[in-house]
Amino acid sequence: MSRSLKALIGPSILNADLSKLYEESQKLLDNGADYLHLDVMDGHFVPNLTFGHPVVKCLRKKIKDAFFETHMMVSKPEQWIAPMADAGVNQYTFHIEPVTNVEDVCRKIKEHGMKVGVAIKPGTPVSEVEKCISLADMVLIMTVEPGFGGQKFMEDQMTKVRYLRDHYPTMDIEVDGGVGPSTIECCATAGANMIVSGTAVIGAPDQAATIKLLRDTVVQAINK
């Protein structure tokens, strides 16, 4: 693995008490989170519904400097690029499955000053994301079916992570779904350097210790 890669831990706030979104988010950052992973669901691309750009904008007013990644589990990701940019999002990660012109969406995201993340569901071959990888800053490999927290980690998705790390050694590769202390080792050794963890971090008795464990495991893998 390239030594230029950074181990980054981005807790998903979906499993937090959303009535205390700012407090929960700030607590995660105080406990060592490198960024916040904000799950946006539209009830169409996935069956669940969460929050949109007005909530993200409110959170940004309270949290000025943290890196915000929105994970757009939506049918029309192009529709929300401008509003999310206005809300202060740093990285706009969208699923390629419902999109006709992925390259066009990537370009629009960059035009609005955000980093581009491209995501694929477990059933989508890694070859699909390769078509647009030159325009991406990061690739997200889902390790559960998108839409709900607390699902069981799919270890077979690590073949996609390994393939990407072998072929794109400096690319940021993120994993999301069922990732925690019991599954971080296989994520790290496969080549993931950006780790989304929801339940395992939010519900941990010691969030700081859990975040440190996740990061240390990835750092060790990067430095091998």
Chain center to CA of 116: 11
Residue 2 lies in a domain: no
Residue 1 lies in a domain: no
Residue 192 lies in a domain: yes
Kindly state the percentage of the chain with pLDDT values over 70. Answer: 98
Q: Could you tell me the residue range of the domain that residue 91 belongs to?
A: 8-222
CB 31 within 8 A of CB 71: no
Rg of the chain in Å (alpha carbons) = 16
- Cα distances from 56 to residues 3, 70, 123, 155, 203, in angstroms, run 33, 9, 29, 31, 22
Residue 102 clears pLDDT 90, i.e. is over it: yes
- Active-site residue (options: 34, 39, 42, 172): 39
CATH number at residue 127: 3.20.20.70
Residue 190 lies in a domain: yes
Residue 3 lies in a domain: no
Per the annotation, the verdict on 39 as an active-site residue is: yes
Q: What is the mean pLDDT of the chain?
A: 96
Annotated ligand binding at 71? The verdict is: yes
Q: Who wins on pLDDT, 224 or 118?
A: 118
Q: Flag whether the pTM goes above 0.85.
A: yes
User: Three-state SS for 101?
Assistant: coil
pLDDT digits (tens, 9 = 90+) for 157-192: 999 999 999 999 999 999 999 999 999 999 999 999
Residue 80 lies in a domain: yes
Would you place residue 137 in the very low, low, confident or very high pLDDT band (cuts 50, 70, 90)? Answer: very high
Annotated ligand binding at 147? The verdict is: yes
> DSSP string of 7-35?
-EEEEBGGGS-GGGHHHHHHHHHHTT-S-
Kindly state the percentage of the chain with pLDDT values over 90. Answer: 94
